[in-house]
């Protein structure tokens, strides 16, 4: 599968996730006396929609990549995989209703407490992977 097709498929899956989490959000709003959804249900919905369009943006940069087709596919795959892991984290927090800020101490996941080093390592991987993955593609566009 080409990197372009991978980006397009990921965009479609993120958009579908955004639509489905929107249905979830609507259900929460309708059941809430205040007419609001849990914080992370809302964040999952918005993030999935934004990542759908981010994948389309990545796709536009793929033709300018200075990497081999395999390396480019890996670069976009890792970047979009990290997008997916972020959305999954939001969905889990939304389903568990365990926090309104996943980066507030103590770090929780349901009834478990997470080690700060684990949370910060995950955030570092997200930052390096997402920014670095796009940075490689942007570098290719700037070189062309």
Proportion of the chain above pLDDT 90, given as a percent: 95
Asked if pLDDT for residue 37 goes beyond 90, the answer is: yes
Q: How far is CA 77 from CA 2, 17, 125, 144, in A?
A: 11, 18, 14, 22
Which two tokens mark 9? 């498929």
Place of tokens 């639509």: 19
CA 28 from chain centre, in angstroms, equals 22
Is the peptide bond prior to 106 cis by the omega test (within 30 degrees of 0)? yes
Q: Name residues whose C-beta falls within 8 Å of residue 77's C-beta, 6 or more positions apart in sequence.
A: 3, 6
Check: pTM over 0.85? Answer yes or no: yes
Total domain count, the chain:
1
Proportion of the chain above pLDDT 70, given as a percent: 100
pLDDT the model gives residue 24 = 98
Q: Which domain covers residue 83, as residue numbers?
A: 3-143
Q: What is the mean pLDDT of residues 116-124?
A: 96
**pLDDT tens-digit readout, 62-115:** 999 999 999 999 999 999 999 999 999 999 999 999 999 999 999 998 899 999
Asked if pLDDT for residue 128 goes beyond 90, the answer is: yes
Asked if pLDDT for residue 13 goes beyond 90, the answer is: yes
pLDDT the model gives residue 86 = 98
Asked if pLDDT for residue 42 goes beyond 90, the answer is: yes
Mean pLDDT of the chain: 96
pLDDT the model gives residue 144 = 82
Asked if pLDDT for residue 48 goes beyond 90, the answer is: yes
């Amino acid at each position: 599968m080409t990197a372009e097709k991978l980006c397009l498929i990921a965009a479609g899956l993120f958009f579908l996730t955004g639509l489905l989490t929107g249905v979830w959000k609507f259900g929460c709003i309708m059941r809430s006396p205040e007419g609001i959804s849990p914080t992370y249900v809302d964040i999952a919905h918005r993030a999935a929609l934004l990542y759908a369009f981010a994948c389309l943006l990545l796709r536009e940069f793929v033709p300018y990549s200075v990497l081999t087709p395999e390396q480019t596919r890996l670069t976009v795959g890792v970047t979009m995989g990290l997008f997916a892991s972020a959305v999954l984290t939001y969905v889990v927090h939304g389903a568990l209703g365990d926090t309104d800020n996943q980066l507030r101490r103590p770090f929780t996941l349901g009834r478990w407490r997470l080690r700060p080093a684990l949370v910060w390592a995950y955030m570092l991987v997200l930052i390096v992977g997402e920014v670095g993955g796009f940075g490689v593609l942007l570098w290719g566009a700037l070189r062309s």
